[in-house]
Amino acid sequence: MSITLTHTPAVAKADEILSPAALAFVQKLHEKFASTRETLLEARVAARAEVVKTGTLDFDPATAEIRNGDWKVAPAPAALQDRRVEITGPATPAKMAINALNSGAKVWLADLEDASTPTWHNVIDALVNLTDAAAGTLSFEDAGNGKSYALRTDAPLATVVVRPRGWHLPEANVLINGEQAVGALVDFGLHFFHNARVLSEKGQGPFYYLPKMESHLESRLWNDVFSFAEAELGIEHGTVRATMLIETITAAFQMDEMLYELRDYASGLNAGRWDYLFSIIKYFREAGDAFIMPDRADVAMTAPMMRAYTELLVATCHKRGAFAMGGMAAVIPNRREPEVTAAAFEKVRADKTREANDGFDGSWVAHPDLVPVCVEVFDSVLGEKPNQIDRQRPEVNVTAAQLLDVASAPGSVTEAGLNTNLYVAVAYTAVWLSGTGAVAIHNLMEDAATAEISRSQIWQQIHNKVVAADTGNTITAELVAKALEVQVAKLRAEVNDEKAFKAYYAPAADLIGRLVSGRDEDFEDFLTLPAYRLLSTELVSK
């Protein structure tokens, strides 16, 4: 087996990250685990086919012994005992990484996935920044505005938890036997190779967030990857800690099993609410009226199906000695608009108050200005305690029907919501193609997960001939095509840059137009797969 690169990106220290020894380690990971990953991706197709046939999901009787067993995950290290506020964001550019580390949050989710476009430049720059952060040397000089960015010394830095790409994503710039590498193994392998020892010696990791998993067998694969990587580099078994995102509907039925598979490494589960909604739509998109999701803005965490999901997550985590981590409130402040900022603070405060009172041990924010809000809320519930794992929830008894009760979600489908979905899906995809994986749109933080909801809802509405509550019009492919033209024209006027529009917005609009067609053959499992294929050599090497 051979490993080759398409090129080395123009990033300082790229040669160090892509050293022969580091690449040899990545190659070993692929030799050992890539075929299992392929098998598991094929199993996803079979699982979805079963849902189409039966129209439902349930807890697996074959794993009842695990759900009913008396076991716990390994205790969390000191650096992860207090996670009351976690800030999320990309690890590139360096000033973004420094701002996250300096934010006052307990944890920084350094994102190589939903909030980061995986251009080769971005991937390697992120790994350079994470390696410098682990060494305590990360800094940045912004020649454009004359500002210097450095790690603070007057207060603790956020503990770094790295989110590699999901199992489904490839890395086109690393070829193994001529085939594209597995993005997750490239991200993890390069980060672990360069940082495992220095982080473990500091008691700071390495720690990871694991996204997009759909079964406990995918957790088992990560368990095997961690165990192999530790042994290969001489790191003590059980040094790694991982938090899994429960952001697929199938994973919601396997929380116990996923923790069990990773019990030597697991430190918690996270309620990845936006991808979770997308997953429900994806799995049940042809299942009829009972699974028609209302407008995205209407589906609050207080909806019965979302309450069932979060209550089950907290109860499962605390029973197993793991942390329950709350999800992202998409609203963000705008320092130029005090009224918008005040409204964002109140919405985030309400969201975090619900989570803290339900038993979550901490939660996510997307902006440094929201860190104090989240801290204040969790301080009021936790007091001097670092977490509330001791708060057991034996009264929680969630059924399959409750997890799948989409019909009880308040709200309706509207043409106004359709137009918002089209605008967001095109605008976000365009920004993603330009190299930025998270962007504020109408004072909401949009990333790949929220774009996924937007485009999948439209597909579902067309396919099921949904009638819009605000206009009485049936949502058809023709209606959506006309609406898309209007939203694209609006974006063209707002962007007011013909070169950028042609390079990013036009291909984004074409892609979204296809993905929302309502035709079976046009429903892609993940928006980022065809979007990644759209990244030309020039874009990938930016």
Give residue 536's pLDDT.
59
3-state secondary structure 44-113: HHHHHHHHHHHCCCCCCHHHHHHHHCCCCCCCCCHHHCCCCEEEEEECCCHHHHHHHHCCCCCEEEEECC
As a whole number of angstroms, the distance between CA 294 and CA 91 comes to 34
Give residue 266's pLDDT.
98
Query: Nearest-CA neighbor of 79 among 159, 161, 155, 135?
Result: 159
Global pTM value? 0.96
Give residue 332's pLDDT.
84
Side-chain-side CA neighbours of residue 72 (13 Å):
11
Q: Is 77 helix (H, G, I), strand (E, B) or coil?
A: coil
Give residue 145's pLDDT.
82
Helix (H) or strand (E) holding 363: strand 362-365
Active centre residues (catalytic): 163, 447
Give residue 541's pLDDT.
37
pLDDT by position in tens, the chain (length 542): 799 999 999 999 999 999 999 999 999 999 999 999 999 999 999 999 999 999 999 999 999 999 999 999 999 999 999 999 999 999 999 999 999 999 999 999 999 999 999 999 999 999 999 999 999 999 998 877 888 899 999 999 999 999 999 999 999 999 999 999 999 999 999 999 999 999 999 999 999 999 999 999 999 999 999 999 999 999 999 999 999 999 999 999 999 999 999 999 999 999 988 999 999 999 999 999 999 999 999 998 999 999 999 999 999 999 999 999 999 987 888 888 888 889 889 999 999 999 999 999 999 999 999 999 999 999 999 999 999 999 999 999 999 999 999 999 999 999 999 999 999 999 999 999 999 998 989 888 889 999 999 999 999 999 999 999 999 999 999 999 999 999 999 999 999 899 999 999 999 999 999 999 999 999 999 999 999 999 854 443 34
Whether the Cβ atoms of residue 80 and residue 421 lie closer than 8 Å to each other = no
Looking only at the bridges linking them, the beta strands covering 323-328 and 266-271 are parallel
**Cβ-based neighbours of 213, under 8 Å, separated by 6 or more:** 166, 167, 219, 222, 244, 245, 248, 251, 258
Residue linked to tokens 């485009």: 455
Beta strand ranges found along 37-98 (DSSP E) = 85-90
Residue range 361-374, pLDDT digits in tens = 999 999 999 999 99
Residue range 479-530, pLDDT digits in tens = 999 999 999 999 999 998 999 999 999 999 999 999 999 999 999 999 999 9
Give residue 238's pLDDT.
97
Query: Nearest-CA neighbor of 224 among 293, 167, 176?
Result: 167
